[in-house]
Amino acid sequence: MPGLFYFKRYAESRTAHPCLIGGCRDREEKPGAERRIIMEITGSISEVRAQVKEWRKQGLTVGLVPTMGYLHEGHKSLIDRAVAENDRVVVSDFVNPIQFGVNEDLATYPRDIEADKRLCGEAGADLIFHPEAEEMYAPDFSTYVETEKVSKGLCGRTRPTHFRGVCTVVCKLFHIVMPDRAYFGQKDAQQLAVIRRMVRDLDMDIQIVGCPIIREADGLAKSSRNTYLNKEERKAALVLSRAVFYGESMIKNGERDAEAVLEAMRGLIEAEPLARIDYVEMVDADSIQPLARAAGRVLVAVAVYIGRTRLIDNFILEV
């Protein structure tokens, strides 16, 4: 895979570890002008490790943005934050097979590595880790990381092996990159809670940074799976954000009874003929245990099928 060149305003010159594929170190940089820097891409675990070791030797901090690719503005907001808070940023771009259930969309999950490279380059990432599944999982791979309880409700009910797959791959990515900080979107609020729990329970010395949901202009939460929606479904998908905004306003206006909030949200969603509710729930945002009344750090989360596409959305409020 070739190295990539992007233009970016940059105050210092950067060097990449020489082992990385396609790196070029003979570029000319004009003082005060937009300077050419290198963003590298590799599928090799040992090359990522070598590069990070090099950065560490220089005393640089490292941020990691784990993704499954098909990057959009939501991912870009994570990379932007990572670039702002770390000296170097690694974006992993890997559709992780073990977090998909048997009847889920692994085969059709959207992929576009060329577009991903462009977005990462423009956002100022330093390295994309884009491994093949064989690089991540030996044929006799047999070690998994599983969080109990926190991964069992909400999405864990419909997708019983999902968070085991997420935790395992994130744990592996943490061991490969050894970042100071790792960045995750709040759109996957349960995933964020599960990863925080794993990091706490297993004493991983990594700061987990949760970043706000990024929405389309009409309110739909950005998601790679939005591309599955046809025109009619795209319109119908707005029931998720409409329900989320409505529920949020009810709590902000003083409603505390979970069932009252959830009933109103369900009513809005059920009025849309293309929508089928998977769940609409109020839980504690850290433990993911159900709440009867809004108190503490409250997560109200929805998962709704629009046609065959399952979408999620949520809000978190401190009450």
- The residues pairing with 312 across neighbouring beta strands, listed in sequence order, are 303
Length of the chain: 319
Shortest Cβ 173–ligand PAF spacing (Å): 8
75 noted as active-site residue = yes
User: Considering only residues 71, 79, 169, 192, which one is a binding residue for ligand PAF as defined by CB under 6 A?
Assistant: 169
Tell me if 223 contacts ligand PAF by CB under 6 A: no
Tell me if 77 contacts ligand PAF by CB under 6 A: no
Q: Which stretch binds ligand PAF (CB under 6 A): 145-153, 166-174, 263-271, 294-302?
A: 166-174
For residue 50, the Cα-to-chain-centroid distance in whole angstroms is 25
Please tell me the distance from the alpha carbon of residue 75 to that of residue 69, in angstroms, as a whole number. 9
Catalytic residue among 75, 130, 162, 175: 75
Interior angle at CA 52, CA 49 and CA 53, nearest 5: 80
Return the number of the residue (69 or 247) whose C-beta is nearest ligand PAF: 69
Q: Which stretch binds ligand PAF (CB under 6 A): 64-72, 200-208, 289-297, 299-307?
A: 64-72
Return the number of the residue (96 or 309) whose C-beta is nearest ligand PAF: 96
Please tell me the distance from the alpha carbon of residue 286 to that of residue 201, in angstroms, as a whole number. 13
Q: What are phi and psi of 165, to 5 degrees?
A: -65, -40
Tell me if 211 contacts ligand PAF by CB under 6 A: no
Please tell me the distance from the alpha carbon of residue 182 to that of residue 279, in angstroms, as a whole number. 28
Q: Which stretch binds ligand PAF (CB under 6 A): 43-51, 65-73, 148-156, 261-269?
A: 65-73
Tell me if 233 contacts ligand PAF by CB under 6 A: no
Please tell me the distance from the alpha carbon of residue 130 to that of residue 44, in angstroms, as a whole number. 8
Site string for ligand PAF, 171-210 (x = CB under 6 A): -----------------x--x-------------------
Tell me if 240 contacts ligand PAF by CB under 6 A: no
Q: Which residue stretches of the chain are H helix?
A: 45-57, 73-85, 113-123, 133-136, 155-158, 162-177, 189-201, 231-236, 238-252, 258-270
The answer to whether the beta carbons of residues 127 and 46 sit under 8 Å apart is no
Return the number of the residue (51 or 67) whose C-beta is nearest ligand PAF: 67
Tell me if 170 contacts ligand PAF by CB under 6 A: yes
Tell me if 167 contacts ligand PAF by CB under 6 A: no
Return the number of the residue (98 or 277) whose C-beta is nearest ligand PAF: 98
Per-residue CA distances from 7 to 65, 120, 162, 278 (Å): 21, 12, 38, 44
Tell me if 166 contacts ligand PAF by CB under 6 A: yes
Please tell me the distance from the alpha carbon of residue 143 to that of residue 177, in angstroms, as a whole number. 19
Please tell me the distance from the alpha carbon of residue 3 to that of residue 243, in angstroms, as a whole number. 44
User: Considering only residues 23, 43, 66, 247, which one is a binding residue for ligand PAF as defined by CB under 6 A?
Assistant: 66
Residues 90-119 that bind ligand PAF (CB under 6 A): 96, 99
What is the phi-psi region of residue 255: left when phi exceeds 0, alpha when psi lies from -120 to 50, beta otherwise?
beta
Shortest Cβ 107–ligand PAF spacing (Å): 16
Per-residue CA distances from 14 to 23, 37, 85, 317 (Å): 12, 7, 17, 41
State the amino acid at position 261 in one-letter form.
V
Tell me if 314 contacts ligand PAF by CB under 6 A: no
Residue count, binding to ligand PAF (CB under 6 A): 10
Q: Which residues of this chain interact with ligand PAF, rule CB under 6 A?
A: 66-68, 96, 99, 166, 169-170, 188, 191
List, by residue number, the catalytic residues: 75
